[in-house]
């Protein structure tokens, strides 16, 4: 008994060291945590005793993530935490409680009965949420208002409206931001809600690691993912090809779904278009609500720029420069943000607003040159048809011979590159095809670009013709 107590004390000292050295906890948090006592490490759980009279919810809310991180650092494998109120165990004296602010002491009137006080149990997962991504700083416009409304409804509704919520769109259009905003809003509105954000890559890695470790690591992994109230999984298309992971995720999904937990997913395309994804998963992904994020329109780009300038206290840029950025950087919010950061840096160095000519040169890689000159899908179709010696009607027609299908795919690819049109809009402009066909065309061309150098020449020739 004495030996075990010593081992727990030594482990707790190591955890405290890790917290001081690597943790993000401030001095006050460290003081407070040092007043807790490790009762036992079961191999999967740390049983921690807290001073009598302390509100467990307060403890969980403020400190469990710090403790989990520090413990994982020392023990190399994650532990869930189980909190026990002092006096509930028949252990030796607990240390004197650390000073606590009035807010975290249980009011006299809500003193729980001794029985209720005996073991207060909680298994809490680290949420991985980024506090910077909120609804407050998410600009809403025509390209995302539907997705925003669906996310808001999910957060505000007491009942499960749709499950899962599936958000898709190209890179840099705000999927990750929206997922975090949902998680942050839920955590701030509902007490004790357990939210977990992971990328599908993190899920895959954690699963592989759990299998590699053997023992009860897989059980711990499963418990972690099935315990949460809300699971946010980003970029599910990257789970493709990893068959075993898909199988595991299928079971995780079902377990959560059946117990009424909320699932939110993001991907770069609609669920049924994800390549190498198990059909059962695609069906599950599509059974709730699917919303698309498209490239922002001009007004929205202006609103995003204004919002970011306000946040970064940037006041050196002229209205002309802001409009120039909004007109020319159209593909994604990420590119727009990148352009604003670069422009702001240049402005700060020279303490003046850069000229348009200077920006044209320095932002060339981010600029969507064609869209600022008003190139349309029809222009692209014409140029591609002329390059291949076929008719525009062929491009928009039904024939699927290689001589027609290849130029058609090139034209779709270029339309996506050089206009701000959504997959649907492009499909519609190519003889009423669906967005899946456009997506397939883009991927086919991207793949061919690796193996066929002459394709790059063709794309450059057509792009140059368009620029004239
Ligand atoms: P995705 O996950 O779709 O690739 P992100 O969510 O990472 O895109 O967004 C890229 C950047 O653009 C982030 O910094 C994000 O905060 C910002 N962003 C995207 N959409 C919006 C929006 N509607 N309002 C404000 N910022 C946005
Ligand atoms: Mg993302």
pLDDT in tens, 427-444: 888 988 988 899 999 889
pLDDT of residue 53: 62
pLDDT at 104 over 70: no
Tokens linked to 77: 């494998």
Q: Do 79 and 55 fall into the same domain?
A: yes
pLDDT of residue 62: 67
Task: Give the C-alpha separation, 198 to 248, whole Å.
Answer: 15
Evaluate whether residue 182 is within a structural domain: yes
pLDDT tens for 107-146 read 333 333 333 333 333 445 578 999 999 999 999 998 999 9
Dihedral, 151, 155, 158, 162 alpha carbons, nearest 10: 30
pLDDT of residue 54: 64
Q: How confident is the model at residue 55 (pLDDT cuts 50, 70, 90)?
A: low
Note whether 158 and 288 are same-domain residues: yes
Lowest mean pLDDT of 19-23, 236-240, 257-261, 316-320, name the range: 19-23
More confident residue, 271 or 49: 271
Query: Rounded mean pLDDT of 299-312?
Result: 92
- Tell me if 312 sits within 8 A of 342, measured CB to CB: no
Q: How confident is the model at residue 405 (pLDDT cuts 50, 70, 90)?
A: very high
**What is each CA distance from 225 to 57, 89, 122, 230, 267, in whole angstroms?**
21, 29, 15, 10, 19
For residues 287 and 183, state if they share a domain: yes
Confirm if 404 and 397 have CB atoms less than 8 A apart.
yes
Same domain, yes or no: 273 and 328: no
Which one has a higher pLDDT value, 87 or 354?
A: 354
> Is the predicted pLDDT of residue 343 greater than 90, yes or no?
yes
Tell me the two tokens of residue 365.
């890689």
The kind and range of the H/E element at 219 are helix 217-227
Distance CA 397, CA 399 (A): 6
Is 422 among the domain residues? yes
Q: Which domain holds residue 316?
A: 298-362
**Ligand index nearest the alpha carbon of residue 235:** 2
Residue 51 confidence (pLDDT) above 80: no
Question: Does the beta carbon of 174 lie inside 6 Å of ligand 1?
Answer: yes
Q: CA-to-CA distance for 401 and 391, rounded, in angstroms?
A: 14
Tell me which of 181-195, 367-381, 401-415 is least confident.
367-381
Beta-strand runs (E) in 103-261: 165-169, 195-199, 230-234
Ligand nearest to the CA of 306: 1
DSSP strand pairing (37-41 vs 45-50): antiparallel
| Ligand 2 mean position, distance from CA 173 (Å) | 8
Ligand 1 in reach of 199 Cβ (< 6 A): no
The response to whether residue 441 sits with its C-beta less than 6 Å from ligand 1 reads no
Ligand 1 atom nearest the C-alpha of 177 is: 6
Cα separation, 102 vs 36, whole angstroms? 18
Q: Residue 26 and residue 49: Cα distance in Å, rounded?
A: 21
Ligand 2 midpoint to CA 176 (Å) = 4
β-pair partners for 49: 37, 84
138 ligand 1 Cβ < 6 A:
yes
SS3 452: coil
Nearest to 34 by CA among 47, 17, 22: 17
Most confident residue range from 211-225, 282-296, 351-365: 282-296
- The predicted pLDDT at position 121 comes to 37
- Which residues is 168 bridged to in the sheet? 267, 292
Q: Residues 88, 111: one domain?
A: yes
Q: Do β-strands 165-169 and 37-41 pair in parallel, antiparallel, or remain unpaired?
A: unpaired
Residue nearest to atom 19 of ligand 1 (CA): 174
- pLDDT tens digits, residue range 370-390? 444 567 788 899 999 999 999
What lies within 8 Å, CB to CB, of 45 at 6+ separation is 79, 80, 81, 82, 123
Q: Is the CB of 304 under 6 A from ligand 1?
A: yes
- Is the predicted pLDDT of residue 93 greater than 80, yes or no? no
Residue 207, domain CATH = 3.40.50.300
Same domain, 332 and 408: no
User: Do the beta carbons of residue 26 and residue 62 sit within 8 Å?
Assistant: no
Lowest model confidence (mean pLDDT) among 91-100, 179-188, 443-452 = 91-100
- Model pLDDT, residue 45: 86
Does residue 42 form part of some domain?
yes
Last residue of a domain, one of 266, 293, 320: 293
Give pLDDT, residue 173. Answer: 95
**Is residue 316 domain-shared with residue 271, that is, in the same domain?**
no
Determine if ligand 1 sits within 6 Å of the CB of residue 171: yes
Can you give the pTM of this predicted structure?
A: 0.60
- 222 shares a domain with 153: yes
Predicted local distance difference test score (pLDDT) of residue 113: 35
- Pairing of the two strands 80-85 and 45-50: parallel
Residue nearest to atom 5 of ligand 1 (CA): 174
Same-domain check for residues 116 and 174: no
What phi, psi does 403 have (nearest 5°)?
-65, -25
- Region 379-407: mean pLDDT is 92
User: Does the Cβ of 352 fall within 6 Å of ligand 1?
Assistant: no
Please give the pLDDT value at position 95: 41
The atom of ligand 1 lying closest to the CA of 171 is: 4
Say if 372 falls within a structural domain: no
- 267 and 302, same domain (yes or no): no
Which residue among 136, 137, 172, 335 is best mutated to probe the pocket of ligand 1, counting the most ligand atoms within 8 A of its Cβ? 172
**pLDDT at 105 exceeding the cut of 60:** no
Residues 236, 265: Cα–Cα separation, whole Å: 7
- Residue nearest ligand 1's atom 6 by CA: 174
In a shared domain, residues 289 and 342: no
The CATH number given to whatever domain includes residue 319 is 1.10.8.60
Is residue 353 located within the same domain as residue 381?
no
Q: Residue 233's closest CA among 275, 186, 284, 179? A: 179
Residues near ligand 2 ion, CB 5 Å cutoff? 175-176
Res 447 pLDDT > 80: yes
Domain count, the chain: 4
From 141, 330, 333, 336, mutation site for ligand 1 pocket: most ligand atoms within 8 A of C-beta = 333
Averaged pLDDT of the chain = 84
- Calculate what percentage of the chain has a pLDDT beyond 90: 43
CA of 333 relative to ligand 1 center, distance in Å: 6
From 149, 177, 178, 303, give the residue whose CB has the most ligand 1 atoms within 8 Å, as the site to mutate.
177
Both structure tokens of 27: 């001095």
């Amino acid at each position: 008994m004495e030996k075990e107590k010593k081992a727990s004390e030594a482990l707790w000292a190591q955890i405290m060291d890790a917290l001081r050295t690597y943790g993000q906890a401030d001095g006050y948090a460290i003081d407070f945590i040092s007043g807790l006592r490790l009762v036992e490490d079961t191999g999967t759980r740390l049983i921690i005793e807290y001073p009598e009279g302390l509100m467990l919810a307060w403890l969980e809310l403020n400190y469990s993530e710090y403790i989990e991180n520090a413990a994982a650092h020392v023990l190399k494998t994650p532990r869930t935490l189980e909190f026990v109120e002092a006096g509930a165990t028949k252990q030796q004296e607990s240390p004197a409680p650390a000073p606590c602010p009035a807010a975290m002491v249980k009011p006299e009137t809500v003193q729980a009965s001794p029985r209720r006080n005996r073991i207060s149990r909680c298994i809490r997962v680290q949420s991985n949420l980024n506090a910077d991504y909120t609804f407050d700083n998410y600009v809403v416009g025509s390209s995302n208002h539907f997705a925003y409304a669906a996310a808001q409804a999910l957060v505000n509704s007491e009942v499960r409206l749709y499950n899962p919520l599936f958000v898709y769109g190209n890179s840099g259009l705000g999927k990750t931001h929206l997922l975090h905003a949902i998680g942050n809003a839920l955590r701030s509105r509902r007490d004790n809600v357990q939210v977990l954000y992971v990328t599908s890559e993190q899920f895959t890695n954690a699963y592989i690691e759990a299998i590699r470790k053997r023992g009860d690591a897989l059980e711990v992994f499963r418990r972690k993912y099935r315990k949460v109230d809300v699971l946010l999984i980003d970029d599910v298309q990257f789970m493709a090809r990893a068959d075993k992971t898909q199988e595991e995720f299928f079971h995780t999904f079902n377990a959560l779904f059946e117990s009424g937990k909320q699932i939110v997913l993001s991907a770069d395309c609609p669920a049924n278009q994800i390549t190498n994804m198990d059909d059962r998963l695609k069906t599950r992904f599509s059974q709730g609500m699917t919303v698309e994020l498209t490239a922002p329109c001009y007004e929205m780009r202006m609103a995003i720029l204004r919002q970011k300038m306000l946040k970064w206290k940037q006041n050196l840029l002229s209205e002309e420069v802001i409009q120039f950025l909004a007109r020319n950087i159209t593909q994604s919010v990420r590119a727009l943000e990148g352009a604003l950061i670069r422009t702001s840096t240049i402005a700060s160095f020279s303490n003046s607003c850069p000229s348009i000519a200077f920006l044209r040169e320095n932002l060339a890689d981010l600029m969507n040159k064609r869209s600022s000159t008003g190139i349309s899908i029809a222009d692209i179709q014409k140029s591609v048809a002329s390059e291949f010696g076929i008719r525009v009607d062929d491009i928009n027609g039904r024939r699927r011979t290689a001589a027609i299908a290849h130029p058609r795919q090139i034209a779709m690819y270029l339309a996506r590159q050089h206009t701000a049109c959504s997959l649907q809009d492009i499909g519609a402009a190519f003889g009423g095809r669906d967005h899946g066909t456009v997506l397939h065309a883009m991927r086919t061309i991207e793949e061919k670009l690796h193996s066929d150098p002459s394709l790059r020449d063709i794309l450059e020739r057509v792009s140059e013709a368009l620029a004239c």
